[in-house]
Structure 1
Amino acid sequence: MKKVVIVLILAVLPYVSNAQSYFDKYENMKDVTSMVMTSKMFKLLSKIDLESQDEETQQYLNLVENINNIKVFVTENKEVSNKMRGDVSSYLKSSSLDELMRIKSDDGENIKFYIKPGNDEDHVRELFMYLEGNDEKDGPETVILTITGNIDLKQVSKLANDLNIPGGKELKNVKKGN
């Protein structure tokens, strides 16, 4: 019986780890700017001894304490952008993410948000954003953002703005059930 359990675990493990590291190949790729923040970073942030009674500060600390990781990959290279588009398409087909909303702006940006449902209406287990831009002034830009953990959608835009994440300003409009 133990052998059967071990075989099952070994068979499932590549799929579990593959979902968590689907876009990690872009981390060290030429022409890609990446930012990866792990749960250790968020645990450290949540342990900062703030004597503040400010409710907003406490909500912020609760948010970062419940995040497993944030990964952001940005490129302006057309070839890499095409690879990202294909990988995003494959990831969305193989994952259990629900489309949350789409934004097409006047300046050529197409932004799509997806979520993996969480414990309640205000929380998600994963927030995934894909941005394709073709701004005449700034040139093409592609951004992949994934945040995993127990994510409070009410607070996540503040964190994205504080970290200066591309597309973060659109997160303030994200609400589950749109």
Structure 2
Amino acid sequence: MKRILLIAIIAILPFAGFSQSIFEKYESNNKVGFINISPKMIELAADIGKNTNDPDARNLADLAKSIKTFKVMTTEDTDISEDIHSWVNRHLKNSSLEELMRVRDGDTNVKAYIREGRDENHISELLMFVTGIGKANVNINGTELETVLVSLTGDIDLRKIGELTDKMNLPGSKQLKKATKH
């Protein structure tokens, strides 16, 4: 029994470092813009939004209630962009994410992947990967972006996710909104 356990541990050991999220790897790197909104902050934002007369704010509050994690990472560094791209490819091979859409606009590429949720209109995960932005001269706070990676998890209504990204003016949000309309 000990021998089987030892073999299993040795077999799994190479994947221990692989499980580190790309977000964890770069969250403290000064060449990366990083946003991680905690579930508590999402809950607070949803509570604030539901106490308003603005229908858009209410819709966002309803959508926010369904989100568990929200992470965004941006960089202009080409080496980090390549590492993120490699991580996305590995993550896609080892997960049950399926492609939602792929858009190329000039040199900019937008790819969105989802993990199905409780029914056909809900997802449990959205991963959006945008590359080649630097060639499009997108500038946020004085930084020319090359790559954006967005990760959302929760019980998310796919029909409303385009609204959220559109309100935040994230690169690729217009394409995502079009792809999720039924």
TM-score (norm 2): 0.77
1:96/1:116 contact within 8 Å kept: yes
In structure 2, list runs of 5 or more residues that go unmatched: 1-11, 138-143
- Asked whether 1:165 is paired with 2:175, we answer no
- Supply the distance in 1 between the matched residues of 2:176 and 2:113 (Cα, whole angstroms): 11
Kindly report which structure 2 residues correspond to 1:1-178, keeping only aligned pairs within 5 A, or say none.
18=19, 21-48=21-48, 50-52=51-53, 54=55, 56-106=56-106, 108-133=107-132, 135-136=134-135, 138=137, 141-175=146-180
Alpha-carbon RMSD: 2.6
For residues 142 and 68 of structure 1, do their structure 2 counterparts lie closer, same or farther at Cα, with a shift above 3 Å needed?
same
2:108/2:131 contact within 8 Å kept: yes
Q: Number of aligned pairs? A: 160
Q: What is the percentage of aligned positions where both structures have the same residue? A: 34
For residues 62 and 137 of structure 1, do their structure 2 counterparts lie closer, same or farther at Cα, with a shift above 3 Å needed?
closer
- Supply the distance in 1 between the matched residues of 2:81 and 2:166 (Cα, whole angstroms): 24
Q: Give the C-alpha shift of residue 93 in structure 1.
A: 1.0
1:22/1:91 contact within 8 Å kept: no
2:60/2:164 contact within 8 Å kept: yes
| DSSP-derived class of the 1:47 partner | helix
- Supply the distance in 2 between the matched residues of 1:134 and 1:46 (Cα, whole angstroms): 31
TM-score (norm 1): 0.78
Letter in 1 for 2:126: L
